[in-house]
Structure 1
Amino acid sequence: MRPSDVLDADAVRQWVDVCVRDLRALRAEIDGINVYPVADSDTGSNLLHTITAARDALSGRDVPDAGAALTTAADAAVRAAKGNSGIILSQVLRGMASSAAGSDALDGAALAAALRSADSAATSAVARPVAGTMLSVLHAVSTALDDRDGDTASGVAVLAAKTAAEALANTPNQLAALAVAGVVDAGGRGLVAVLDALVETLTGVRTPVPARTTPHARAGEEPSPRAWEVMYLLTVPDGGGNGTDTAGGLPALRRALSALGDSVTVAEAGEREYAIHVHCADIGAALEAGLDHGRPHRVRVEPLLTPGPAEPAVAAADRAVVAVVRGEALADLVGGEGTPVLVVDADGEPTTEDLLTLVTGTAATHVTVLAGGVRLTAAAERITGHPMLEDRDVVVVPCASPVQVLAALAVHDPGRRAGADVVAMAEAAAATRRGEVVVAAEDAITWVGRVAAGDVVGFIDGEVVLIESGDAGRRVERAATGVLDRMLAVGGELVTVLVGDGAPDGVADVLAEHLRAERPDVELVCYPGGQTDAVLLMGVE
């Protein structure tokens, strides 16, 4: 193999050839570590199938330049892509082809740009990217290649492969399912092989591929399908049709598929054509969703198998607790204690796929969900009976406020039996009285008086208890101490306060001083909450 400092058409061919060779050698190993999102042992096979189609398309075909070679490979890969990993790999090629369009050869700067474009294309195709997967490895490469304009193509390839290997090693720290199984991400392992092949193409130095691999052993009863992997190409009419926004990647179709299952991918496959992928329990519904937007064709359906009783390599964690909250600051607080957390926009709700991914990402058979609000709790409860979770016991602890989530987490004890632990968390949440201090956005009538826009309103357990107007600089403080005094009038030993983004400076100090003077027996803890709908959230235990 000839080393080269540019990626030209011949080098693209050689790269794809080496990818096929190495992914064939690694197929059993990659299949054997495939535990997320479903342990169906096919990621290596799907990657090999996808890249083989790209090689076959280039074989014997006259392509004038690197851009044309990448486009030919990408088009074939998208149409043949199998599985989530195969679609992502096809989008890596498509992103590179888009960046390299019209280029005779890619030097270092152009190759770096192409790999960054690959990251964008692959990430945008996936409805909800998950940390600890093939996408994380690819994004780490993209980030490392910022401002590499002075590098040679071989230097860029070496850096990309090195970064990918490091990111791959970190995937078990990002995704609980991998840590439990003691493996790295299977798709990420395949991507490392693809980048190692690029290094060999440009430098002539081969990265050793293990000669012997150990796939998962399957024994005992034949497993039965838990759900299905549904894949098809979708051709949409001119102008989108049926409200389809082709430029935006069919957002309505993404939402429909996300309501059916997880691992949703809607990837561009050419002009007015998309590659669709979803894991779901209802094949017909997945196809009907496509029919609402265009013409599905080349439909492929494969079973997602629940591992049999003698499946030793994918033993799940017994139980886990996850949280759904609003506000990055609160998410950091909860996540800092090791709890997987989903952050939701201030006025939004989590999608079905968001919640399914949160639950399945734990690899636990018993999952307790703590959702920081009435609407978030209702959204979580809606997915407990989802067909994709039929092999898991999912329990939602009722919480009306983030302070109740914190109270529940404070009593969580992994050493207790699962049922007893859920009861303890539910009791702690229910026993926590909740207060809010908000700034009124408009005029209103309440049972304690008239509220004008801009007034500060105090709530206890969802009921208005006071209204503060007048001096803008002090009314938040007056409302905060007033709500706190009313809550403590019936007892309490611990006050937890989450400070919102709109809170005035020093309000936490004012509360601390007030308690020292009025209730020195009460402990106060304040955290940045990051919420935008309330100036302060309070909990009293």
Structure 2
Amino acid sequence: MITSIDGRLYLNMLRAGAQRLDANRTAVNDLNVFPIPDGDTGDNMFMTVNAGAAKATESELLGDVATDAARRMLLGARGNSGVILSRIFAGIAKGVEDAAALDTVGFIRAMELGVDEAYGAVSTPVEGTILTVYREGVEKTAQAKPESFEELFDTLLPELTDSLEHTPDKLDVLRDAGVVDSGGAGLVYIAQGMGEALSGGAYEALSSSATPQNVDLDAFTEDSVLRFGYCTEFLLRLQRSKVDIDRFDTDAFTDWLNSVGDSVVCFKEGSIVKVHVHTKTPGDILNHCQQYGEFLTTKIENMTLQHNGSHSMQELKLRNREHQKPFGIVTVASGDGLRDLFTSLGVDVVVDGGQSMNPSAEELVKAFDTCNAETVYVFPNNSNIILTAEQAAQLYQGSDIRVVRTKNIGEGYAAISMFDPEAGDPETIVEGLNEVARGVVTGMVSRASRDVSGEVEVVKDDYIGFVGNKIYVDEKTPEAALTALCESLNAGSYDILLILAGGDTDAAHASDMAERLTASYRRSEVIMLDGGQPIYDYILILE
């Protein structure tokens, strides 16, 4: 019988939870409310929890492990469920931060702090989601007053599962789709794994990557010139024999990094310093930093290979860190055409992501840093990325970060098109941009992933046209769906029809559609661009 847990057991439990979710993340992904192939909750939650489980500090002290794991989850959080999950573990970490070990009473109190932290992360909490599943599970477990951790999880797991099964009763969209909440399901799998770790056995750390990255070795040959330098990241454990840890000057250390590198992200947690820097001489930086302590982890990547491979952001420009410009713009999009479109509008950094590919908070933090601006305006362009952007804004201290709550590409395009840095102070500017975003209509065309009964009968593998969560049409081809969607939305009453063709859309079909729509809506300007986006065959923006 286990009556207390220390840092080593807690880390083993986290790794077991990550493994259990990893084995079931496809099942979680498939719990997708909307009938298009964009389910990614399982991937997002796995990458979030595994960001903490894979590389957290190994220590016997529970507080050290929980704090480090939570910090890593906050940086690695992706999607709404991932952000909420990271906040759950952040709350737990607050409850155990000074403890070497805890009994069940103390741990339940920490779990209750996780409830508070998770609900506090969401401006308008919605019941019937992961929030409800976790809260109800913790409340029922606290009432049971378990004396051992085996008893705690024997109580917690059935309560989590019961709450999950009742999520459709609390949320109509789940009931109509015939599914339970995907975030809640992911939480149940994590809890299952954590409970299994109590039975013994060591769980190995899993790779943190969603998918393996393929490095193009031919991108840097014998004749290449090192242009971009190296993306250098490390965790440095300060050593008392080398430095006064309490008096270590993080600001001065960061200033030094900026003098020898670029795109610096640096923060100190306890005796660990986390560093991200771009430099052509990583060895010099490592040698310098070793005077303060020893390295826990290091990662050095040639950015030429990153730029020619599957890097998460557009090319990072090297900037003079001493002089910040007044403002910068970061947006999220996927597809070469969309990246070019936003760049042409003056966007500084286009973070690769969108539906089914939500960027992490850390990726957004790096984008903020790249802007090198006093104020950075962020356009998430996806309702599942807004929380991540807001979390990244809280984590980054180098600029005033302002999140414009754009929920799709159309809203982002319209808002960025109307961006005026002279329109007032940052708060006034954001209010105006949010108003612009609310005034645009964005329609989508995508292949249906399953049959759906409702106002529009959806047949699997047909093409549906929709705005938000409302499906307007079901047709056999994407072009027929786009045509019918334009008719349903009375597209001719708008001045501009901007259409973004997807990555899998036939160019000849897209060109033909542009001609046909131009002929149909003579009073409107029809613009067809190659967006290159995944998932959506066409994105229709009406202004």
TM bin (shorter chain): 0.3 to 0.5
TM-score w.r.t. the length of structure 2 is 0.44
TM-score w.r.t. the length of structure 1 is 0.44
